[in-house]
Amino acid sequence: MLASVGVTLVAAGTAWAADLSAPPPASVLEAPAVPSWTYRFTPYGWLTALNGTQTVRGRSVKVDASFVDIVENTDTLVGLMGDFEARNGPFALLANVAWTKIGVDRGNVRSRARAPGVTGSLGTSLGLDIEMAIAEVGIAYEVARFGALAFDILGGARYWHQEADLSLDVTAAVSIGDLEVAGARAFARSGSVDWVDPMVGARLRYTVAPGHELWLRGDIGGFGVGSDFSWQAIGTYGFELGTYQGITFSGVIGYRVLYVDYVQGESRQRYGFDMLQHGPVLGVSARF
């Protein structure tokens, strides 16, 4: 009888222990992946041509020089340029810097006009030297995507720095009181000129094939805040060259057009830059 009761208790205890066994592990929910930052740096060359009007100390000259003209006729062509983008999901930070020092000789510079208040002959133009830095900063946001095609809006600011020296034939320049004279030349020197333009624009990014991208960008700026008006259009095509130590390198070819109409001062202090700069773009980008 006691043995029977003991067997029953043992059996019940075993069943109770089985009921108290650990529950199956709960499924673990994985957190959604957080977009990470990617970076792209592109040093490039811009084979710039100039078409427009340059005004220095009230003297205006017409400039019409292709990149070939500038290379053939002067040894003062220097350029340092780079583009940077940091992207996290649809959001991107943008920066671009271009610094050039260009000399244009008399064959591509023609005397044009004087500002009101500047008397005497303008003089024969002998040459124009321009040192110029352009720096852009901005943000972009992807507002739409259709498969391989993405559409961004962007906004930011463009900073300009210029120094221009215009050389004239002193024998023809009757009024040279405000110019520097050296030998048979009179020099109109602008000194440092700086301004900032706000800008807004849009960009299309299209993946043509794996490793091949087409980018089109346009923006407008100035609005009388800095320059009277400016606009820019850029088209580039990138193609992967290979990957080394986690960095993807691509070749970049394209075309860039940048126009600005800026003026300050009056009479002999008048400075103006109404110029279209345009030419092919060649570079190599590194993405990591």
- 189-192's contacts with Cβ under 8 Å and 24+ in sequence apart are 189/56, 189/57, 189/163, 189/164, 189/165, 190/56, 190/57, 190/162, 190/163, 190/164, 190/165, 190/271, 191/163, 192/161, 192/162, 192/163
**pLDDT value of residue 18:** 45
Q: What is the dihedral of CA 258, 189, 110, 133, to 10 degrees?
A: -20
Q: Which residues contact 239 (CB under 8 A, 6 or more apart)?
A: 211, 212, 250, 251
pTM of the model: 0.83
Helix (H) or strand (E) holding 106: none
- Band the pLDDT of 59: cuts 50, 70, 90: confident
Residue 109 pLDDT:
82
Q: Where is average pLDDT lowest: 39-43, 177-181, 217-221?
A: 177-181
Tell whether the model's pLDDT for residue 85 goes beyond 60: yes
- Let me know: does 230 contact 220? Beta carbons within 8 Å: yes
Q: What is the pLDDT of residues 248-262, one digit of tens each?
A: 999 999 999 999 999
- Tokens read off for 268: 């002999």
Q: Could you tell me the two tokens for 247?
A: 């960095």
Contact indicator for 73, 107 with CB cutoff of 8 Å: yes
pLDDT per position as a tens digit, 6-30: 444 344 444 444 444 555 555 555 5
Q: State what percent of residues in the chain have pLDDT above 90.
A: 61
Round the average pLDDT of the chain to a whole number and report it.
85
How far apart, in whole angstroms, are the C-alpha atoms of residue 18 and residue 113?
103
At residue 22, the pLDDT reads 52
**In this model, does residue 268 exceed pLDDT 60?**
yes
Q: What is the arithmetic mean of pLDDT over 268-287?
A: 95
pLDDT greater than 90 at residue 198: yes
Q: Cα–Cα distance between 227 and 265 in angstroms, integer?
A: 13
pLDDT for residue 233: 98
pLDDT at 220 over 50: yes
Q: What is the pLDDT of residue 177?
A: 65
CA angle 148, 150, 154 (to 5 degrees): 160
**What is the rounded average pLDDT of the residues 113-123?**
63
Per-residue confidence (pLDDT) for residue 231, from 0 to 100: 98
